Amino acid sequence: MTVLRSPVLARFLGVVLGVIFIYASVDKIAHPAEFARIVYRYQMVGPNQQMGPTAANVLAVTLPWIEIVTGLLLVCGVWRREASLMVVAMTLSFMVAVSSALYRGIDLENCGCFTVTGSGRSLGIKLLIGDLVIVAAALVVALARQDSPPAVAAEPDDRPA
Amino acid sequence: MVQTVLRLLAIVILGALLGFGWNSFGGRGIQLDRNVFVKDEDEVIELAEARARFARGALFLDAREMELYRLGHIPGAISVPEGEFEKAFPRLEPMLRSRFDLVVYCSGLGCEASHTVSRWLRQRGIQAAIFTTGWPAWSEAGQPTKKGDEP
């Protein structure tokens, strides 16, 4: 299992996940009202009679920016472990939302994953499998050996005299 | 461990702040306490007003799919599913134009069909109020309902 914990693999997968998350956020950031419409259709955080539209609107406005921050951190390799844990948390939450929508028979032609205008990907088992792959890759990044401490220890000359 | 949690929080907070900032100053933000389906020109009503208009004899339009209409609708409501609008409009037009108290509803706040049908009617010069909380609010409040194909 040493290969799976390799820092090089973690860096590579981190960049791939980062690009995916940045790509996923752009269209939502450009079209907040369209993304809010999709959030409404899931009926996870309203709006309904008990909950006004605020919770769903706040999610629609903030989630894409949390995605882009996470993606940029992964691409730059800063806070890689934490950013990959964010990917795990966001993707698992999304899988719960998709499964729940499928279970309740909510028919979404567009899952709101990458594009919020036009048709996009529909809900289904293929989407959930794709998400599982993302979760697995993010876990590999999160559980990788930390590579920075040995690099510092290997350069004793840099220490101040 | 503590550091990890703090960094996770920092990512969420930074993302949220950027999101709120963009929503306020990005020029295409949404109003957080308003349903994005609602437009300025919409006349929006809720249960109490819908009841009053029902008692007054308003004509209700049900924008949900026919199967849902069959399972139960507001008595007297005409089925005008969003997807059938173009086809149904010529047949309904004389009746719609002869009434001035029209109310459109669908499956509640997460449903856009009533907004869409109301907008299409407005484009044809017909004003219809939107009962936003719609069928769930009506049926849960124990208001009269009717099953089947007939209004």
User: Contacts of residue B39 in chain A, CB cutoff 8 Å?
Assistant: none
Say if residue A1's pLDDT is above 60.
yes
Q: What is the ipTM of this complex?
A: 0.87
3-state SS class at B150? coil
The whole-number pLDDT of residue A154 equals: 47
Give chain B's mean pLDDT: 95
Contact between chains at A43 and B110 (C-beta distance less than 8 A): yes
d(CA A84, nearest CA chain B) in Å: 10
Say if residue B72's pLDDT is above 70.
yes
Contact between chains at A49 and B32 (C-beta distance less than 8 A): no
Rounded to an integer, what distance in angstroms lies between the CA atom of residue B13 and that of residue A65? 10
Out of B18, B37, B112, name the one closest to residue A65 (CB).
B18
Mutation for testing the B interface, residue in A82, A85, A107 having most B CBs under 10 Å: A82
Q: Any CB–CB contact under 8 A between A143 and chain B?
A: no
- DSSP code of A111? -
From its phi and psi, is residue B102 left (phi > 0), alpha (psi between -120 and 50) or beta? beta
| Predicted model pTM | 0.84
pLDDT in tens, A108-140: 878 899 988 877 788 888 999 999 999 999 999
d(CA A135, nearest CA chain B) in Å: 17
pLDDT in tens, B11-53: 999 999 999 999 999 999 999 999 999 999 999 999 999 999 9
* Residue B73 structure tokens: 């609708």
Out of A43, A64, A66, name the one closest to residue B12 (CB).
A66
Percent of chain B exceeding pLDDT 90 equals 95
CA B20 to chain centre: 26
Q: Which CATH fold topology does B44-140 show? A: Oxidized Rhodanese; domain 1 (3.40.250)
User: Contacts of residue A60 in chain B, CB cutoff 8 Å?
Assistant: 30
Domain boundaries, chain B: 1-32, 44-140
Confidence of residue B5 (pLDDT cuts 50, 70, 90): very high
Residues 82-121, chain A, touching B (beta carbon < 8 A): 82-83, 85-86, 89
Number of separate helices (H) and strands (E) present in chain B: 6, 5
pLDDT in tens, A46-74: 898 788 899 999 999 999 999 999 999 99
Out of B15, B23, B109, name the one closest to residue A53 (CB).
B109
Residues 55-74, chain A, touching B (beta carbon < 8 A): 57-58, 60-70, 73
